[in-house]
Structure 1
């Protein structure tokens, strides 16, 4: 476990609010990477992709930068536009 992961685990154990915010930030970053990769694989500009998923370009930029909490509906819209299945899974947390 990295020093950063250890610190996050320690702070999360002490503060449930920090734990929730940290987990949401991790989800946002994971989603941002996946959404941007799908868009790039489709060879679409941010404005083209945003229009297809029913978002403004600025909303898509915020998603791709991990700056917004992405909703399940938006993930479904992204998957539909990309002709992909949306799969949810539970992985073990990296806490030792």
Structure 2
């Protein structure tokens, strides 16, 4: 087991809420990386991406920084806007 996995296990044993927090943070990171990769793959700046999907730049920035977990509705809106502009 890696050092990281050992630390996660150790913290989870100390604090029963740790795993819930850890999973939420992992989800934020996954979404942030996915959104950033999508935008970069399209060759767009954050501003250009925000304009393309019809959202505020600050919203895109908060998602990509992991500060905000977007709702499924918001993810769906962004996906449809990207798809619409790509076809």
> What is the deviation of 1:69?
2.0
User: TM (normalized to structure 2)?
Assistant: 0.76
Partner of 1:60: 60
User: TM (normalized to structure 1)?
Assistant: 0.70
- List runs of 5+ in structure 1 lacking aligned partners: 84-96
Aligned equivalents of 1:26, 1:39: Cα separation in 2: 20
Structure 1 stretches of at least 4 aligned residues deviating more than 2 Å after TM superposition = 12-17, 51-55
> What is the deviation of 1:76?
1.3
CA RMSD of aligned residues (A): 1.9
- List runs of 5+ in structure 2 lacking aligned partners: none
1:38 aligns with 2:41: no
- Number of aligned residue pairs: give it: 83
Contact 2:63 2:70 survives alignment (8 Å): yes
